[in-house]
């Protein structure tokens, strides 16, 4: 039986001065998590160990995101981190420095429940 998605939250994060894609991505994930609540995991019969989390990050330089750092935000949970081209950079015309903006989708899946 296929897993069922029971939560999806989106978030946005940025790094204003360091051009750090991982920092922006971590802030986007935290932004999404702040609006999520996993009360379902306390329901009898729902096994916490069966929880699967998929995090999708969009930034302009996907190769610069530390996937392990993103997964580490969820402790020992079963996490898959996907990083794709997306997000937005806004370059300051005077300094040439970019503000890095990241978008994140955090999805939680459990096996289909009877």
Radius of gyration (Cα) for the chain, nearest Å?
Answer: 16
**Model-level pTM?**
0.87
In 3D space, the residue among 114, 1, 102, 109 whose CA is nearest the CA of residue 48 turns out to be 109
Report d(CA 106, CA 56) in Å as an integer: 7
How far is it, in rounded angstroms, from Cα 43 to Cα 52?
A: 17
Length of the chain: 114
- Cα-based distances in Å from 114 to 4, 17, 20, 45: 12, 50, 44, 10
Please give the chain's pLDDT, 114 residues, in tens: 588 888 899 999 999 999 999 999 999 999 998 887 766 666 666 676 778 999 999 999 999 999 999 999 988 889 999 999 999 999 988 888 999 999 999 999 988 766
């Amino acid at each position: 039986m296929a897993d069922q998605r029971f939560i999806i939250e989106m978030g946005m994060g940025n790094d204003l001065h360091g051009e750090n894609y991982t920092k922006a991505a971590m802030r986007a994930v935290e932004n999404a998590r702040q609006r999520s609540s996993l009360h379902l995991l306390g329901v009898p019969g729902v096994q916490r160990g069966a929880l699967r989390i998929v995090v999708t990050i969009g930034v302009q330089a996907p190769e610069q995101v530390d996937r392990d750092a993103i997964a580490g935000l969820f402790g020992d949970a079963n996490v898959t981190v996907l990083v794709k081209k997306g997000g937005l950079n806004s370059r300051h015309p005077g300094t040439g420095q970019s503000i890095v903006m990241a978008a994140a989708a955090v999805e939680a899946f459990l096996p289909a429940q009877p």
